[in-house]
Structure 1
Amino acid sequence: MSDGFEEGRILFRSDDLLVRQVGEIAAGGAVAVTFDCYGDWHGNAVKEGFGERHFAINARAAIHVMPRGNDWYQYPTTEAALAAVKQAVAGAARVVAYGSSMGAYAAIRFADRIAATAVLALSPQYSVDPAKAPFEKRWLQEGRTIAFRPELDGPIRSSVRPVIAYDDRSIDRRHVDRIAADIAVERLPLPFGSHPVGLALMEAGLLQPILHDILDGSFDGDAVRAGVVERLRGTSTYWAERARAQPRWLKWRAVGFARRALALAPQSPLTHHVLATSLDRVRRYTESLPLHEEVARLSDRQPGYLRPYSFARARYGDLEGALALAREVSAADPGRARNHEWEAWLLGMLGRAGEALPAIDRALAIDAEPPNYTKLRDALIAGAPLRRLHPYKRARA
């Protein structure tokens, strides 16, 4: 393989997890153990691990732990996979657990199990189990359907004090507060750093120095915190997140912040997306829709960007155009119940209840808990008005 990617050595493989080592771990040296983040997973085929190219290019040994799906590592084989990692790193002097979001959750929780000496966690969750983190609404489908294992998702026990980088203006602060109630942590707050904060750190030129300093044992948190806000203000992520954070009564100001973000990263689908959705909020659809189309092009029609494009089309009054996009999203991301709900609502609004019912049934087959799915199905059968069941507000959460 090329461009810094090699298959490496497989240390563990099950139906749930794949663990690969790339590079040789020097006796008395340092090694990174990465836990992959939320993504588009298709089994445990060999693929790049989190940050793999960076470690390979910098001749750093790394072990990559990769799950088969977005299950927050709640597998019966997780303990065996971690034991394989611990055995592989036995000769290293420094073992750094590293991950982002779902991977950061794992890096913190499993640090002791892999004999980690340090942790770098970017935007971790305490849990996505609604019973443990009822304030978390971003991964509700996963939180309701994952079978959480008490030995993997109970109170955190760790002899390592993790460095946690997170957006302290977001809900991520509540997760960090919960983590800090269980163990000692070193906080690296990044106001308007978004979720996850890795992109903001990269834009600010901070991610690689922080990671390598932690690997080398020379990390100085006070020095990083002292200049972090000024560094962030020069990033597109900071201004994009400020745009998204504006309340309803300041939604016009969001457009100006979004334009600043786009000027800093004119080829980024994210900055185009933030400006498009900011314009949607002030109903300037003739300006926003071409931007949504550009986002689709720049992102190779990524479903996460096509969904808000479909909402904008619907709000503009183009229900047929919105439906075409909704069907594209459902086909590209069929495991997401809310995509089928949106398709069903649009079909119902177009008077095509016969086609809408199979779509809402697909949503219920994936996730039967949300009451709005059942209410939409009942309304479609009864021929009742559907406007009050519009999924848009839930989709923005």
Structure 2
Amino acid sequence: MKVFRLPDLGEGLPDAVIRQWHVREGDSIAADQALVTVETAKALVEVPAPWGGSVEKLFAGEGDTLETGQPLVGFKDRTGSAEPAPSQPGDASAGQPPTDSGTVVGRIDQGSEQLHAESRPIRIRPRNATPAVRALARQLRVDLAGLHPAGARFTEAEVRAAAPRTSSKPPEPQTSKRPVPTNTGNTEPARRAMALAMSRARDLVCPMTLCDEADISKWPKGEPATLRLLRAIAAAAAEVPNLNAHFVDDALAPQSPVNIGLAVDAPKGLFVPVLKDVDSHSDEQLLDAVRSFRKQAMAGAIPQPDLQGATIHLSNFGSLGGRFATPVVVPPLVCIVGAGRSHEAVLPHKGKAKIRRLLPLSITADHRAVTGGELARFLAALKNHLTQA
């Protein structure tokens, strides 16, 4: 039986909940046909069949939770089932009496006995992990041969996510259908993903946070704060590109274009949809995307591709409350911008005391990859673009 395991469905997510099977045991299906719909941390995803064949076993029922890399579907192995059993000389079931196979001068008898069934050549799997990732897998006792990477190569996150499974018994395969459970509290997939991401951030990131306030008194009345923040972050990233970057295998890799992950608070947890290539969109397109993401987050059904590819994060927590914070950087990103609630203050302006509107800013960076000077320059550039009319 060929076993297809649950693949990594994005950003090293640790598990998924089976929501709806689209096939049954005994069905014959084609490659890329939809097998099952699963719920990951923040989206419903259809998993396609990696190859065609006959479904022999479903390893989980609807409502079950599977970890990445655990068996999902078993397919009948055509080579194993089609191989004929070798016959024995003199077998009565052949319907023929045993014949003399001795040597006769001038003639050689030829028998029909199958001596050996030719087997398929063994495929050698290409290297699908860097030396550093293979070393990490050995250290954590993770067998990469039994797993499938989400891309061309395994990532450090995939290896770490697979590590706990090596020390525990896999759950018993279940095929019976169960009612979809009502998730509450920490059983929500989004909250499980948040807990995992925060644990990785705590273990990997060396955070440093700078805070300041931007004078936004020149903004036109009714100016959308989120739009101004998106534009200012893109402009600041162009001036200090090391903040719009990934830090992988101890190497800083500045990214282009600027893809901003926007934190959205929702009943099921924190969602971070990604606004791709901010500079390529008009103001109205960006506002439409933000409204769409918020609506989808409330329904708990943001498409998986819209949750991937961020190069920098934005948390506009001031729309709910609070002035300053210590936002958490989620690797492999190196920076997150936090905007607090704007307020009015009496400040000296052109030699006089005037009431000015201020926007609090809190920016955290991963000090393993970013210097304090780079973070300060990024904050100064961000303030400069926010204070413009």
- The TM-score with structure 2 as length reference comes to 0.25
Structure with the larger strand share: 2
Structure with the larger helix share: 1
- Higher gyration radius (CA): 2
- The TM-score with structure 1 as length reference comes to 0.25
